C-alpha cells in the first residue's frame, strides 16, 4: 500500500497541478486523478503525456470519483450512463484503474430489499461498463448510526452487507473502500476483515474518532486525524489490511474544517507523516 | 369484524372462565383462546364441550399466541417444534383458527438479509405445520422508530416488507396483524392498505398515540386508547379494513398500566364501547 | 378485450398503411403500431394526425415491440438506452400505451439466479423510463420444454416465476403477455390465472397446439390456429382472462409459414372470425 | 486426502465389521461410518471403544449419510428433526465429523426460487443443529442433464449455484461434495474449482464416464470406474482438489452392478489401486 494525497478528502481546494507538485514534494506515494483537469488537457495524447509526467515524479494514481449517481431517478441515471464512456476512456488513457463511490445508508421511501434491488441492478450495469474500460470500482459502506438511523429505512451499513451486495453482482471488478471510521462505528473488529485479499479492496481510508463520544454518538462529518485520540484500533485495522496483501492507496478523510485554515505545507507534512506511520505499520 | 376481548392485551389478569363471562356480559363478539386453560380441561371431548359453551354465549374465538419463538437458537426452535402439534391439535379441537406473533424489528448481530432468511425459513416450516392443523398465522410488524432503531440492524418495520415476507413463504395461511399504532408510527396511510382482502388479515388492533409526541418519538409501550387523542386517523384505518372485507376480531392493546388499577367492569364497559364504535364505523 | 391484427405475428409482411386498411376492412378492433412507420411520418404533428385517422377507422392500438434487448451485453444495452426516449416519445405521441417483449427461457452461462438479477436490474430501469413516457410493458414467458431445456440453465418458463419477477421490480407498469400456447405447454390451468386483474395483463395471444404431440414435445414455432385441434382448453383460458376483466388486444401468433402463401384476404377473414369467437366467448 | 472405502457407493452389501476389516486389509485410509451399527453397540462407551479400535487399524472415518430428507413435507421433516439429536450424538461419540447428502436437481411443482427458499430454510436449521454437535455437512450437486431436465423445474445443478446456496445459509459447517462425474456433466473445468479451500470441501468422489456418449447424454447411474475411459479429466479435477489443500476422504461411486458380482477382494484391490493413484497424483 502507499500513502495517497486526496486534497478533496482533506477539505483542501488545490488545482490539479498544485496537488501533484505538493504530493511529490511531501513524499506521498500517490495522488488522486482529477477528471476535469484531464478533460482540460484536450486529448488522449496530452493525457498520456501528463500521466507519464506524474509517474516520473514517483506518483501513482489514487482513486477517482465515479461520475454517476447509483440512486438517481431512472431518467437521470440514463443521462449519466450516456456520458459515462467518454469519462472512462479519458481516465483509462491516464492509466487510472480505481474509481469509487459510497452507498447511502438509508432511504425515506425504499425499504432495505427495494433499495438492494435498485443498487444491485444499477451496480451490475455500471460494473460491466467499467470492466470494458479496464476500471475497478470501490464501494464504501457508511457506519455511523447517527446517519443510517435518520430516515425511515436503513440500508447497507456494514462490511458483511457490502460484501454480499458485491458478490451478488457477480462482477470481479467491484471491491471495497475500507475506512477505519466506518469499520469502528459499525462495531466491527479485525476478525471481520479476515479472509480479504488485495482483489477485494480498492481503497483504504484511515481516520480516528472523537474521544468524548460513544460509538453510536459519533457523527460522520466530525472525525479526528489518525492516531489522534486512539479511539479507533488503527493497528488492528491496518494489520488486517496488510494481511490481505493490499497494494493500493491509503488516505485520510477527517472532515476537519480547520485543516483548510492552516498553512498547506504544514498540513501536508502532518498528514504525510501519519500516512507513513500507517503504511509502515500496516 | 367483531369486537374481541383480549385480557392480556389490556394488561388484565383474568382466568379464562372469568374472561369468557366478562366478554359475554359486556357484549364483546369474541374472546381470545387460552392454551393453558384448554390443556387443563383434560381432553378433546372436554375441549369441544367447552368451545360449544363459549359459542352458545355468543362468542367467537379471537386469536391465540403462536407457541414458538421464530428467532430462537436452532436447538430451542427444534424443541418447540417437537411440542407444536399437541398444542395445535388442542387449539383446533376448540375451533380456534387464528394464531399470531410479532416480528422483532431489529437485531444486534443479524443484518436485514440474514434475518430475512432466518424468518423466511422458519416461517415456511411453521406455516405448513399450522396448515396441516387448519390454522392461520398472523404476523405483526412493529412501527415505532424508538424501537427498531435500538440495535445494530433494523429489520421488518413496515407493511410492505411484511407483505413481501409473507409472499415469499408461498404459504396461503399466513396473514397480517394490522395495528393502527404500527401503521401510524410506520408513516403509512389508508392507501398502503388498498388492495388487501379478508384473506390477508388475521387480526386488527386499534390504538391511539400520545398527542405530545412526534411520530418518531412515540414509544411502543406508551399508547392511548382508541379515539382518545385523535393523533391516529382511525376512521381512515378502519375504512380501509372494512374495504378489505375483513371478518375477524378487533381488539385494543394500549399498554396502559392504569387500566389494571380501575374496576374491571368499568374498564370493559369503556373498551367495549370504543370497539363498538370502531366495528360500526369500520 | 378486442381482436387485434398483428401482421408480424401472422408471418405476413404488410406495410403499415395496408395493415391498417386490412384491419379496418376485416373488422378487427385494433392493429399493432409500427415504430418505423411512425418515424417516417417526420414529426409529432404528423404522428398525431395519423393516430387520429387510425382511430377514426375504429381501430385501437395493439402492442408495439420493446426496442431494447434486456439481455444484451452492458455496452450494447447502454446504447439502446440512449436511443430509447426518442422511440418512446414517438409512440406516446401516437397514443400507444402497450409495449411487449419475451423473456428467453434459458441461458448457456448464467444460472437461474444470475439471470434473474440481470433481468430484474434491467427491467426496473426500463420500466421506470417507460413509466415516464406513460407506457406499460408486457412480458411473455415461454412454456415449451423443447425450448427451455436446450441450454445449460433453464430460466423463467412459468406464470408464477414471471409474476414474481414483475413483483420484485416494484414497477406498476409491468404486466403479462398471456399466450394460451405457453400456458398449455407450461402445464398450467385456469386456476393459475385466478386473481389476475386487467392491470396485470398487457396482451393476450390465443393459439392451439398439434394433436399428434405430447405436451412436452410441442415446439415453440410449430403451432396451430386457435380452435383447430382443441388440444388447448381455449374456453378455460379465455374464461379466466374475462374473469380478470381484461380490456386489451387479443391476437393470433401461430408460426404457420403456409399463411403467407394464401391470399391475404382469405387469411384475415379466417383469423378475424377466430378472434371474434374468442372475444365473444372470452 | 485419503482413500476411503464406501461399500454402499460401490454397490456392495457388507456388514460394518467386514467393511472395516476389508478397508484395513486393502490399505484404504478410511471407511464410512454406519449409524445402524453404532446404534447396535448399545451405548456411548461401546461406541468410543469401537471407534478407538477402528482408529488403531489405521482408518479414519469417511462420511456418514444425513439422516433427514431436506425436501420432505413439513410434518415429516419435523419428525426427522425430532430424531436428529440422538443420531448426531451417537456419530459424534464415534468421532465422526462429516455427514453428506445430495440435492435433488429438479422438481415437478416448485420452481427454482421456491425450491431455493425451501432448501435454504431447512439447511440453515439443520446446519445449526449439526454445528451444535460438532458435525459438518457436505452437499452434492447433480450434473447430468438427463436427470435435471426430467421434471418441470430444474434446480441446483452446478457448482456455482451450490456455493451460493451454502453462502446464503451463513453456516460455516456446510461444504461441498465434489464428484468428478457431476463436475464433468455440468460442463465445468479446473478453473471453476479455483479458490476453494479445505474448509469448503467435505468429500470427494472420483468416477469416469462412458466413452460412447456425449456429455449431455450421460446418465447419472451409468458411470465408469476412474481412469477407465479417460472421458473425464481426472488429473485436472484432482489437481484443483489438491490445490485447495483438501484433507478428507476420496471415494469411488460408479453405479456398476457388475461389481457386486465379482469377488469382493478382487474388486477392492482394483478400487484401492485407483484411489491410491488419485490420492498420489491429486
Whole-angstrom distance, CA of residue D154 vs CA of residue D144: 11
Q: Look up cell 471510521; give the residue.
A: A181
Q: What angle do CA D62, D65, D71 make, to 5 degrees?
A: 150
Residues C51-76 have a mean pLDDT of 97
pLDDT at D11 over 90: yes
CB A202 within 8 A of CB A244: no
- Which H/E stretch holds residue D201? strand D201-205
Whole-angstrom distance, CA of residue D47 vs CA of residue D53: 10
Instruction: State how far residue B154 is from chain A, nearest Cα, in angstroms.
Output: 7
Instruction: State how far residue B231 is from chain D, nearest Cα, in angstroms.
Output: 41
Nearest to B107 by CA among B138, B76, B81, B70: B70
Q: Where are the alpha helices (DSSP H) in chain B?
A: 7-10, 16-25, 35-40, 44-56, 74-93, 112-132, 145-148, 159-169, 180-185, 234-243, 264-281
Nearest to C120 by CA among C76, C77, C164: C164
Instruction: Considering only the beta carbons, identify the residue of A116, A149, A164 that sits closest to B149.
Output: A149
Q: Is the sign of the CA dihedral B167, B173, B178, B179 positive or negative?
A: negative
Q: Where are the alpha helices (DSSP H) in C101-229?
A: 112-132, 145-148, 159-169, 180-185
Contact between C153 and D153 using a beta-carbon 8 Å cutoff = no
Mutation site, C82, C83, C116, C117, interface A, largest A CB count within 10 A? C117
User: Residue B245 gets which letter from DSSP?
Assistant: T
CB D138 within 8 A of CB D162: no
Q: Is the sign of the CA dihedral C138, C139, C143, C147 positive or negative?
A: positive
Give the 3-state secondary structure percentages of chain D, helix then strand then coil, rounded to 5: 50, 15, 35
Q: What is the pLDDT along chain B (282 residues), one digit of tens a residue?
A: 999 999 999 999 999 999 999 999 999 999 999 999 999 998 899 999 999 999 999 999 999 999 999 999 999 999 999 999 999 999 999 999 999 999 999 999 999 999 999 999 999 999 999 999 999 999 999 999 999 999 999 999 999 999 999 999 999 999 999 999 999 999 999 999 999 999 999 999 999 999 999 999 999 999 999 999 999 999 999 999 999 999 999 999 999 999 999 999 999 999 999 999 999 975
**A117-142 tens-digit pLDDT:** 999 999 999 999 999 999 999 999 99
**C203-259 tens-digit pLDDT:** 999 999 999 999 999 999 999 999 999 999 999 999 999 999 999 999 999 999 999
Check if A117 contacts B (Cβ < 8 Å): no
Torsion angle in degrees (nearest 10) through CA of B54, B56, B57, B62: 40
- Residues from chain B that touch D125, judged by Cβ atoms under 8 A, are 74, 77-78, 121-122, 125
What parts of chain A have a pLDDT lower than 70?
Answer: 282
Say what angle helices B234-243 and B264-281 make with each other, to 10 degrees: 60
Check if A116 contacts B (Cβ < 8 Å): yes
Contact between A111 and B160 using a beta-carbon 8 Å cutoff = yes
* Integer CA distances (angstroms), B189 to B229, D85, D185, in order: 18, 48, 54
Cα of D46 vs its chain's centroid, Å: 27
Phi/psi of residue B102, nearest 5 degrees: -110, 160
Instruction: Considering only the beta carbons, identify the residue of D113, D161, D164 that sits closest to C164.
Output: D113
Contact between D112 and C149 using a beta-carbon 8 Å cutoff = no
Instruction: State how far residue B176 is from chain D, nearest Cα, in angstroms.
Output: 21
Whole-angstrom distance, CA of residue C229 vs CA of residue C211: 6
pLDDT score, position A282: 52
Q: Which residues of A164-195 are buried (b: 16+ CB within 10 A; e: fewer)?
A: bbbebbbbebbbbbbbbbbbbbbebebebbee
| Minimal-distance CA residue of chain C relative to A84 | C78
Contact between C124 and A117 using a beta-carbon 8 Å cutoff = yes
Nearest to A176 by CA among C60, D94, A188, D129: A188
Cell representation of residue C216: 412436452
Q: Which residues of D24-56 are buried (b: 16+ CB within 10 A; e: fewer)?
A: bebebbbbbbbbebbeebeeeeebeebbeebee
Q: Which CATH number applies to A2-280: 3.20.20.150, 3.40.50.620, 2.60.40.10, 1.10.3720.10?
A: 3.20.20.150
Cα of C234 vs its chain's centroid, Å: 17
Indicate the SS3 state at residue A14.
coil
pLDDT score, position C265: 97
Please, which residues have CB within 8 angstroms of residue B211's CB and are 6 or more apart in sequence?
B224, B229, B230, B231
Whole-angstrom distance, CA of residue B12 vs CA of residue B24: 16
Contact between B154 and A158 using a beta-carbon 8 Å cutoff = no
pLDDT at C281 over 80: no
- Residues from chain C that touch D114, judged by Cβ atoms under 8 A, are 160
User: Residue C66 gets which letter from DSSP?
Assistant: P
- Residues from chain D that touch C145, judged by Cβ atoms under 8 A, are 149
Radius of gyration of chain A (CA): 18
Instruction: State how far residue A178 is from chain B, nearest Cα, in angstroms.
Output: 19
Instruction: State how far residue C117 is from chain D, nearest Cα, in angstroms.
Output: 12
pLDDT score, position A221: 95
Would residue C42 be called left, alpha or beta, if left means φ above 0 and alpha means ψ between -120 and 50 degrees?
Answer: left
pLDDT at C282 over 80: no
Check if A149 contacts B (Cβ < 8 Å): yes
| Minimal-distance CA residue of chain C relative to A128 | C74
pLDDT score, position A77: 97
Indicate the SS3 state at residue D125.
helix
Would residue B30 be called left, alpha or beta, if left means φ above 0 and alpha means ψ between -120 and 50 degrees?
Answer: beta
Please, which residues have CB within 8 angstroms of residue B272's CB and are 6 or more apart in sequence?
B3, B26, B27, B28
**D65-96 tens-digit pLDDT:** 999 999 999 999 999 999 999 999 999 999 99
Contact between B152 and A160 using a beta-carbon 8 Å cutoff = no
Instruction: Considering only the beta carbons, identify the residue of D152, D153, D160 that sits closest to C111.
Output: D160
| Minimal-distance CA residue of chain B relative to D118 | B121
Instruction: State how far residue C134 is from chain A, nearest Cα, in angstroms.
Output: 13
Nearest to A121 by CA among B228, C117, C174: C117
Whole-angstrom distance, CA of residue B99 vs CA of residue B30: 14
Instruction: Considering only the beta carbons, identify the residue of B78, B84, B122 that sits closest to D121.
Output: B122
Contact between D161 and C113 using a beta-carbon 8 Å cutoff = yes
- Residues from chain D that touch B114, judged by Cβ atoms under 8 A, are 170
Partners for C (CB, 8 Å, 3+ pairs)?
A, D
Nearest to B156 by CA among B107, B98, B122: B107
Instruction: Considering only the beta carbons, identify the residue of B111, B145, B158 that sits closest to A158.
Output: B111
Whole-angstrom distance, CA of residue A124 vs CA of residue A132: 13
- Residues from chain B that touch A165, judged by Cβ atoms under 8 A, are none
* Integer CA distances (angstroms), B27 to A33, B2, B23, B57, in order: 76, 10, 6, 10
Contact between C128 and A84 using a beta-carbon 8 Å cutoff = no
CB C278 within 8 A of CB C238: yes
pLDDT at D282 over 70: no
Cell representation of residue C140: 411473455
Check if C107 contacts D (Cβ < 8 Å): no
Amino acid at each position: 500500500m502507499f500513502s495517497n494525497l486526496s486534497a478533496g478528502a482533506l477539505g483542501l481546494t488545490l488545482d490539479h497541478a498544485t496537488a501533484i507538485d505538493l504530493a511529490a514534494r511531501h513524499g506521498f506515494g500517490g495522488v488522486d486523478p482529477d477528471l476535469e483537469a484531464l478533460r482540460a488537457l484536450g486529448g488522449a495524447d496530452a493525457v498520456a503525456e501528463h500521466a507519464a509526467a506524474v509517474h516520473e515524479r514517483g506518483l501513482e494514481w489514487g482513486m477517482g470519483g465515479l461520475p454517476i449517481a447509483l440512486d438517481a431517478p431512472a431518467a437521470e441515471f440514463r443521462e449519466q450512463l450516456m456520458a459515462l464512456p467518454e469519462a472512462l476512456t479519458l481516465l483509462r488513457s491516464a492509466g487510472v484503474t480505481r474509481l469509487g463511490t459510497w452507498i447511502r445508508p438509508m432511504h425515506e421511501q425504499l425499504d432495505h430489499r427495494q433499495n438492494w434491488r435498485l443498487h444491485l441492478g444499477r451496480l451490475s450495469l455500471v460494473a460491466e461498463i467499467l470492466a470494458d474500460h479496464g476500471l475497478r470500482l470501490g464501494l464504501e459502506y457508511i457506519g455511523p448510526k447517527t446517519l443510517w438511523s435518520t430516515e425511515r429505512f436503513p440500508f447497507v451499513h456494514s462490511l458483511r452487507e457490502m460484501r454480499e451486495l458485491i458478490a451478488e453482482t457477480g462482477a470481479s471488478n467491484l471491491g471495497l473502500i475500507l475506512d477505519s471510521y466506518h469499520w469502528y462505528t459499525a462495531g466491527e473488529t479485525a476478525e471481520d476483515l479476515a479472509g480479504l485479499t488485495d482483489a477485494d479492496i480498492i481503497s483504504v481510508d484511515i481516520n480516528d474518532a472523537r474521544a468524548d463520544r460513544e460509538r453510536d454518538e459519533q457523527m460522520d462529518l466530525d472525525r479526528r486525524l489518525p492516531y489522534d485520540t486512539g479511539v479507533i484500533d488503527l493497528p488492528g485495522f491496518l494489520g488486517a489490511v496488510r494481511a490481505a496483501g493490499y497494494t493500493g492507496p491509503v488516505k485520510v478523510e477527517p472532515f476537519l474544517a480547520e485543516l483548510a485554515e492552516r498553512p498547506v505545507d504544514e498540513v501536508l507534512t502532518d498528514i504525510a507523516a501519519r500516512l507513513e506511520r500507517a503504511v509502515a505499520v500496516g
